[in-house]
Structure 1
Amino acid sequence: MLNSLWCRRLAGLLLLWVAAFARADLSVDIVGGGANRYPLAVPAFAGEAAGDALTGIVRGDLALTGMVDLKPVPAGAIAADAAQLNAPVWRTLGAYAVLAGRMSTGAGGLTRVDYQLVQLAPRKVLAEGGYEVPPAALADAGHRIADAVYRALFGEPSFFLSRIAYVLKEGRGSYALQVSDVDGRNARTVLRSKEPIISPAWSPDGGRLAYVSFETGKPVVWVQDLGSGQRRVLANYRGSNSAPAWRPDGQALAVVLTTSGNSQIYLVGAGGGAPQRLTRSGAIDTEPDFSPDGSRIAFVSDRSGGPQVYVMPATGGEPQRISWQGSYNVSPRFSPDGKQLTYMRREGGRFRVVVHDLASNDARVVSDEVYGESPSFAPNGRMVLFASDAGARSVLWASSPDGTSKVRLGTVSGEVQDPAWGPARP
């Protein structure tokens, strides 16, 4: 019974219970928002050509947060800088601030982008700056401008400079491990295979991915450098090798091996070496995830009769059961501050995404969809990303940890599994 529960979970992964994800742009639909969203206007930048889409990137990033109320901008409205702003006109739209900007041709064929975030009353420049970038890097400039706006408004970093890893199914018997910006732009293929690829995991510095590939006919853990493309086997022991999770110092990974029979958690050096066993039970122990300080590991075990979430010291030892609601809780991931876990719970035939406060023990369901999988926190902890199959249309969702703000990322084409939110780029 216990093994059959877990086998169904694994079978679900291998059958690619997936949500659609675009390799092109993502559209953003706000389906829920916090009560105190900041009213902001983002008109087109002066000099912006129709195909540049710079302000579209900025608007899309800010919309993802659920914390900004983007006011409709009249057609043709442009604000190049603070001096050109007619504050009363913009205030009639309900905006508290306006992002003004200008695009021009810089030296050597580069594009110059300048911006000012202007508070209307009292009038004040909250943030300003500029970039000279190749035309192909305008998307990156847009993400950086959106990050500057977010920092000025909310006093903390955004997640706009982070990336997502996911596995894209491309027709029958073709799989691609891909990495993209958080809005789906700049997608590139890391690995193609005729066999399934699962469980991508980001290194703490964002430069490497660990993942499980079935290309040799069995699950094997690989580590691949995203810069050079070089990859190597990390774990290929007798039986199954799965569920890699990086230690925060990047020097070791937790992996799940079946060399002793049931799935157990081991520690393996990032450069290789003999695995060190961390769990010793007659149950299935799997899906490890390190706390941000490296002192704890969250994992899933069926030692209590069904798959539940536990936390143990990172060196092994007696685990503490965390999930007590429901008979099936899996896929735990720590928040960036280590104070919360997100995981997936089965309730009445539905798979719900839960955010669990470890201090209060409050466990809040943040997804209303029929199916939710692979939840992970944004680098700033403000959103939780998960895949969901909602009726005939499969989509990605991002929800605030309290469930009050939610955005749906509409997609164009493709099937994805195991989206993993990576660290922010410098």
Structure 2
Amino acid sequence: MTIHPLLMILPAAAVPHPSRRHVIAALMASSALPALAQFRVEVSGVGLTQLPVALAPFRGEAQSPQKISSIVQADLERSGQFRAIDASGAVLDETSRPDVALWKQKNADSLVTGSIARLADGRFDVRFRLWDVVRGEDLGGQSYVISQGDLRLVAHRIADYVYEKLTGERGVFSTRIVYVTKAGTRYSLWVADADGENAQAALSSPEPIISPAWSPSGGQIAYVSFESRKPVVYVHDVASGRRRLIANFRGSNSAPAWAPNGQSLALTLSRDGNSQLYTIDANGGEARRLMQNTGIDTEPVYSADGRSIYFVSDRGGAPQIYKVASTGGRAERVTFSGNYNISPSLSPDGRWLAYISRVGGAFKLHVMDLASGVVSAITDTSADESPSFAPNSRLIVYATQQQGREALMTTTLDGKIKARLAGQSGDIREPDWGPFQKQ
């Protein structure tokens, strides 16, 4: 992301909350939630093919601080791959052999059972088992002894297990997202579970924070801070809370994007005039310019193989998405549908490009099949921004507005299943979906 020059000369109090879409719009024209606030997940839409799964209430969860079965069910529904079968009233646990005929009558293809018990030392013993109802097969299970603070994480890991066993692909429910909020005059950088819950403030500042980006390892977050009265790039270590300065060159320093190997970043600098793309070592140092042109280049993002960088440029007269070799060279235009396309995001499997397109004055999320070039409009909202793919390439998180409120949403690639991760209040922006977590 590049910052419009007008923002550079305004006093900090006069700078509106910059966001990817607003800043890019201004540039190309040139031109917190409470710590304990809970997100509400609302799933809408119906997918074409969904696996019917029953989540029996875990034995003992009525006395648990977290309802494990409900969290697992919400995760699976949000993925778009599953349809919940009513299992209320079932009395089962991981040791039970279910009545397969009964669950077949309920049209369930699979069944999850389990239990949760509080131990004498205050920890919790959580166990579960997954059944293939159609074949009458035990698909295995796991057990965990964890602290109360890890109950939600365990629920997400159970959902990951179920997802992988039934689809053959890795689940993303135990991954994390990062996003920015503005509450009053305070800007905060939050790290949360993939369902938006369990948000922890990583950073808080009276000056704007924009463009957070996860490192490939999931241990660091690059971001842009205005605390020096201009945009400067930092890297924040999630575990320790320490940060290091990456880029503070003359002019603006913005739009950090990690290379897949985690050893360098692409970013946008205006130190030599117009905003242009550079690469820099992940520990800082001298930046190397990628291209020479008279236009504005910004919002770089690496392809999964690290060979290409996709970016936004007005070199053709209006903002479009281009790509260039990560070593530099000649750029190739990628988007041709519409006259205003920004905020590229590439799926980790290399198949899809998500971006924001201005359509009749509305900013809408679109997805392109990179092999065919076919583009699909995904949303019916009008203020979408900052798309980011889940690490299994099956979902996209993005920011938008619904009924005048800021919201984070996830959507399947066909747009048929959307889930709202909506805070109770505050200006929620710029989500980025983190990588798979190490087990």
TM-score by length of 2: 0.90
Q: Does 1:101 align with 2:105?
A: no
Look up the SS of the partner of 1:140 in the other structure: helix
| 8 Å CA contact 1:110, 1:133 repeated in 2 | yes
Match for 1:162 among 154, 167, 175?
Answer: 175
Q: Distance in 2 between matches of 1:366 and 1:22?
A: 31
Cα distance in 2 for partners of 1:16, 1:304 equals 21
The offset of 1:147, in angstroms, is 0.4
User: Could you tell me how far apart the structure 2 residues matched to 1:169 and 1:13 are?
Assistant: 7
Task: Find 2:163's aligned residue among 144, 150, 154.
Answer: 150
1:362 to 374, 387, 397: 374
One-letter code aligned to 1:148:
Y
Q: What amino acid is the match of 2:129?
A: Q
The letter for the 2-side match of 1:92 is: Q
Residue in 2 that maps onto 1:55:
69
On the 8 A contact 1:179/1:190 being kept in 2, the answer is yes
Distance in 2 between residues matched to 1:220 and 1:404, nearest whole Å? 39
Question: Could you tell me how far 1:22 is from its partner in structure 2?
Answer: 8.3
| Equivalent residue number for residue 333 of structure 1 | 345
RMSD over equivalenced CA pairs, Å: 2.3
What letter corresponds to residue 90 of structure 1 in structure 2? W
1:389 is matched with which residue?
A: 401
Matches of residues 250-399 of structure 1 in structure 2 within 5 Å?
250-399=262-411
Per-residue CA shift, 1:274-298, capped at 9, x if unaligned? 1000121100000000111110000
1:80 aligns with 2:93: yes
Distance 2:3 2:218 in 1: 35
Q: Which residue of 2 aligns with 1:71?
A: 85
SS of match in other structure, 1:83? coil
| TM-fit CA distance, 1:53 | 1.8
1:346-371 deviation line (CA, Å, top 9, x unaligned): 00111111111111011111111111
In structure 2, what is the Cα distance between the partners aligned to 1:409 and 1:177?
16
Q: Mean alpha-carbon deviation: is it higher for 281-290 or for 59-68?
A: 59-68
1:195-214 to 2 correspondence within 5 Å?
Answer: 195-214=207-226
Q: 1:6 to 1:259 in 2, by over 3 A?
A: closer
Instruction: Show the counterpart of 2:29.
Output: none
Rounded Cα–Cα distance in structure 2 between residues aligned with 1:248 and 1:7: 33
What is the CA distance between 1:5 and its match in structure 2? 9.7
Cα displacement (A) at 1:7: 7.7
**Superimposed CA distance per residue, residues 341-397 of structure 1 (whole angstroms, 9 cap, x where no aligned partner):** 111000011111111111101111111111110001100000111111123333222
C-alpha distance in 1 between matches for 2:33 and 2:166: 30
1:126 matched to 2:130: no
CA 1:369–1:22 in structure 2 vs 1: closer, same or farther (change >3 Å)?
farther
Structure having greater relative contact order (Cα 8 Å, sep ≥ 6): 1
Q: Distance in 2 between matches of 1:43 and 1:21?
A: 33
Amino acid at match of 1:283: G
What letter corresponds to residue 115 of structure 1 in structure 2?
F
Equivalent of 2:260, from 248, 252, 263? 248
State the secondary structure of the residue aligned to 1:142. Answer: helix
Change in 2 beyond 3 A, CA 1:12/1:295: farther
Q: Deviations over 1:49-92 (max 9, x none)?
A: 25322122111211110111012233x43320363423333333
**Alignment equivalent of 1:113, drawn from 126, 132, 135:** 126
Q: Which moved more, 1:65-74 or 1:105-114?
A: 105-114
Distance 1:60 1:383 in 2: 15
SS in structure 1 of the partner of residue 154 of structure 2: helix
In structure 2, how many angstroms separate the alpha carbons of the residues matched to 1:317 and 1:12?
Answer: 36
Aligned-pair CA distance for 1:404: 3.2
Distance between the aligned counterparts of 1:112 and 1:42, measured in 2? 18
Structure 2 letter corresponding to 1:56:
S
Give the Å deviation of 1:411: 3.5
Mapped contact 1:17–1:417 kept (Cα < 8 A): no
Unaligned runs of 5+ in 2: 8-14, 23-31
The separation in 2 between residues aligned to 1:151 and 1:26, in whole angstroms, is 26
Structure 1 residues 4 and 254, CA, compared in 2 at 3 Å: closer, same or farther?
closer
Residue 242 of structure 2: which of 197, 213, 230 is its match?
A: 230
Is residue 82–residue 125 contact of structure 1 (8 Å, CA) maintained in 2? no
User: Matches of 1:77 and 1:413 in 2, distance apart?
Assistant: 37
Match of 2:46 among 33, 40, 49: 33
* Residues in 1 aligned to 2:426 and 2:81: alpha-carbon distance in whole angstroms: 29
2:10 aligns with none
- In structure 1, the partner of 2:28 is none
After superposition, what is the alpha-carbon deviation per residue over 1:249-303, rounded to whole angstroms, capped at 9, x for unaligned?
1111011000111000011101111100012110000000011111000000000
In structure 2, C-alpha distance between the alignment counterparts of 1:181 and 1:29, rounded to whole Å? 16
**Distance apart, 1:16 and its partner CA:** 8.5
Distance 1:78 1:414 in 2: 41
How many equivalent residue pairs? Answer: 419
- Corresponding residue of 1:215: 227
What SS class does the counterpart of residue 157 from structure 2 fall into? helix
Q: What TM-score, normalized to structure 1?
A: 0.93
The 1:5/1:268 distance shift into structure 2, 3 A limit, reads closer
8 Å Cα contact 2:365/2:385 also seen in 1:
yes
SS at structure 2 position matched to 1:229:
coil
Contact 2:75/2:159, CA 8 A, preserved across alignment: yes
In percent, how many aligned pairs have the same letter? Answer: 42
Give the 3-state SS of the residue equivalent to 2:400 in structure 1: strand
Q: Name the stretch that deviates more: 405-414 or 345-354.
A: 405-414
Asked whether the 8 Å contact 1:33–1:67 carries over to 2, the reply is no
C-alpha deviations, 1:100-128, integer Å up to 9, x for none? Answer: 00112447432111111112222111231
